[in-house]
Amino acid sequence: MKKINMAVLFAVLSMVLSSCTGNGETPPSATPSESAPPLADVKPADYFPLQPGNQWKYLGDGNEYASFTREVLFAGGGYSQTTENNGGTVSSTVYLITDDQITVVYSKGEDYEPENLIGAPPNANIVIIKSPLEVGTTWGDEATTREIVSMDATVSTPLGDMPGCMQIKITDEYSYSYEYFKIGVGLVKREFHSDDTVISSTLEEMDLN
């Protein structure tokens, strides 16, 4: 039971937060195309593509449940639903996508046979990306603060170096985390810090529409 509880804990952490270097060349799929909109026209959704069928796989370090896969199952009416499997449990998350932010509005742990939860009564309100997309933008609640600390971070991944990432710092009373998002790719890396503990999840595979 303890093992499953730890898996659920990291699934919940993933909802709330929500390396190995290759040859140094940025893979084509990780680089915005020449027709990508100017940065001034970029929206939060460009950093988190939530089209059905999109899939990501992350390599974990520091904890057995840090590795996970994520897939977008359903979308409609400005909402998207993902399923996430960290090897110990499966969870579902529903996101609301607007022009100025992406918000987790529903989450469900131990959801081993996911059904369409879009339209379910909200049980969460966690803004994970928020405009304006610039250094210094800060948001959060009494317990957690999020701040954009870089718009041009480079992250080393098994797919190669990924430049141009937005870096968000998430701080609470006992820990802090960094999340890195890239236009057209989504979450590139998550890094959790608490005392001497560091747990990371880094993108190693993706299949995007």
Full residue range of the structural domain in which residue 77 is found: 2-207
CB within 8 A of 43, min separation 6: which ones? 99, 100, 131, 133
When the pLDDT of each residue in the chain is averaged and rounded to a whole number, the result is: 87
Is residue 29 pLDDT above 80, yes or no?
A: no
Q: What is the pLDDT of residues 78-108, one digit of tens each?
A: 999 999 999 999 999 999 999 999 999 999 9
Confidence bin at 12 (pLDDT 50/70/90): very low
Q: Can you tell me the distance from the alpha carbon of 134 to that of 131, in angstroms, rounded to the nearest whole number?
A: 8
Confidence bin at 1 (pLDDT 50/70/90): very low
Max Cα distance, the chain (Å)? 50
Confidence bin at 125 (pLDDT 50/70/90): very high
- Number of structural domains, the chain? 1
Confidence bin at 6 (pLDDT 50/70/90): very low
Comparing 13-17, 44-48, 164-168, which segment has the lowest mean pLDDT? 13-17
Full DSSP string of 173-209: SS-EEEEEEETTTEEEEEEEEETTEEEEEEEEEEE--
CATH of the domain at 17: 2.40.360
